[in-house]
Copies of this chain bind each other. A is one copy, B any other.
Amino acid sequence: MATDNHRPEPNRTLELLWGVQQPPSRGPKPALSLRQIVDTAIAVADAEGVGAVSMRRVADELGFTTMSLYRYVPSKTDLLELMVEHASEVPDVPPELSGWRDKLRWWATDTAQIYQRRRWALDVPLNAPPMGPNQIKRMEQALAALDETGLSGGEMVGILVVLSGYVRGHAQLATTLADVESRTGASQQAWDTAYGRMLTEFVDPERHPTLARIVAEGGFENGQDEDEWLDEDFGFGLELVLDGIARYVERRQGSMSPE
């Protein structure tokens, strides 16, 4: 059967993600492994961002030619997906946690920590639904936490979208603010002054009364203490989301037929 390689094949991607591949028996022993490739790629991304990850770079790091990688990975896109999958190992939910709220709080915080450690993960373009084992495990955890509420599957998924949206959104914002320098090549300070200039010079208090007032109150000074990452801000929004969920659950349970 002709291999007809390299037009994207979801099934191949899927199999790579789940690591199902009986090693072929006829050829020479591979000197490399998917694992190695993905790990080096992750190392590069950790150190210099996902922009530094090129096929050439990864291959060089391993001491092989660029093209050798293509014996293990169908395309760079797949490599990126594999990176994300492998970069987010999922610990088990601490067993001492009980109640959906505590579990979800843990879940959200842990997810946020991943984004914090692997900031580049947010830069990987999201082209297909997440299908990797870790992604799925994470999904299962959140759904399992919600299971005790007795909500329907659809409702639980809806809630999950909200929660993970918040986590991702917060992370996105935090990284953007924290990493302007490495991302743009201009100094942190240059951005700060530009932003300040925008607020004072261009924000017309007529058109933007609320914003102007907040600025005047100094509400934009809190700025970027280095690792303000998993700080109050994150907790603030998180509890707010959890409150929303709680209210929904309450209302829903009130109107549910007893089992």
Q: B240 touching A11 by the CB < 8 A rule?
A: no
Residues on B with C-beta less than 8 A from A155 are 236
Residue A91 is within 8 A (CB to CB) of chain B in the complex: no
Residue ID in chain B nearest A144 by CB atoms? B210
What's the minimum C-beta distance from A158 to chain B, rounded to whole angstroms? 5
Which residue of A161, A207, A217, A242 has the most chain B CB atoms within 10 A of its CB atom? A161
Residue ID in chain B nearest A18 by CB atoms? B202
Residue A172 is within 8 A (CB to CB) of chain B in the complex: yes
Q: B8 touching A198 by the CB < 8 A rule?
A: no
Which residue of A128, A222, A248 has the most chain B CB atoms within 10 A of its CB atom? A128
The quantity of this chain's copies bound in the complex is: 2
Residues on B with C-beta less than 8 A from A183 are 127-128
Residue A156 is within 8 A (CB to CB) of chain B in the complex: yes
Residue A43 is within 8 A (CB to CB) of chain B in the complex: no
Residue ID in chain B nearest A172 by CB atoms? B126
Q: Which of A151-205 contact B (CB under 8 A)?
A: 152-159, 161-162, 164-166, 168-170, 172-173, 176-177, 180, 183-186, 190-191, 193-195, 197-198, 202-203
Q: A180 touching B240 by the CB < 8 A rule?
A: no
Q: A210 touching B143 by the CB < 8 A rule?
A: yes
Which residue of A152, A180, A236 has the most chain B CB atoms within 10 A of its CB atom? A236
What's the minimum C-beta distance from A65 to chain B, rounded to whole angstroms? 26
Report which of B123, B127, B198, B244 forms a contact with A244, defined as CB distance below 8 A. B244
Residue ID in chain B nearest A209 by CB atoms? B144
Besides A128-B191, A153-B214, A161-B169, 16 other A-B contacts (C-beta < 8 A)? A8-B186, A10-B190, A10-B194, A11-B193, A127-B184, A128-B183, A128-B184, A133-B202, A143-B211, A144-B210, A158-B233, A161-B170, A165-B166, A165-B168, A165-B169, A168-B172
